[in-house]
Structure 1
Amino acid sequence: MKKGELSHLAQEGARIAVRVTPKVSRNEVTLHDGQIRVMTTAIPEDGKANKAVQKLLASALGIAKSRLELRQGAFSRNQALRTVGRSVADIWD
């Protein structure tokens, strides 16, 4: 998915549900039947896969990874993240 392609979902306080698949051959974010799927090469050990998911999803949303907060599912394939803070674009509007 291109950088910022999911930017319409990056509203402050938005809850974003994702399906995570760790340990795959490539990093990818897809939208399939209305569900966001994040595939990462990172292994699900010591939070490595969670950090990779945060980075990949932030890129797809077009926001900084520090604006995404894992709210649910740290040890699950089904996760919920929340956007926090405001982007520079929001401040200038």
Structure 2
Amino acid sequence: MTLHVKVKPGSKVDQLFYDAAGLLTAKIKAPAQDGKANVYLIEFLAKRVGIAKSRVTIVAGFTNPHKRIEIDATQEVYERFLAEIV
């Protein structure tokens, strides 16, 4: 499954939500330097979905706040994850 996520690094809290435009947004604590935010984002999403980090891959947007992320999970797990987003 593919997610399109807008990432806001350097936040005080980790948060995953839909913004007013309906775009999935992830606020993460990690700073946007030396790829730390990308590594942290993968760990954060894997934990939220309940899968291994190796099953979450950034496909596009390595240096851009708009990222395309591939999640290797069953349809049931993916739908449960999307339903839990506030």
TM-score w.r.t. the length of structure 2 is 0.74
Secondary structure of the structure 2 residue equivalent to 1:41: coil
Matched residue pairs, number? 75
More helix by share: 2
Q: What residue ranges of structure 2 are gaps of 5+ in the alignment?
A: 78-86
Report the aligned-residue RMSD: 2.1
Query: For residue 24 of structure 1, what is the amino acid of its counterpart?
Result: S
Equivalent in the alignment of 2:4: 17
Unaligned stretches of 5+ residues in structure 1: 1-13
The alignment-based identity, stated in percent, is 26
State the 4+ residue runs in structure 1 displaced beyond 2 angstroms: 31-35
User: What is the distance in 1 between the residues matched to 2:22 and 2:4?
Assistant: 10
- Correspondence for 2:59 among 71, 74, 77: 71
1:31 aligns with 2:32: no
CA deviation string 1:39-90 (max 9, x = no partner): 1111111110001111111222221111011100000010001123x67xx9
8 Å contact kept, 1:38–1:57: no
Contact residue 38 and residue 56 of structure 1 kept, 8 A: no
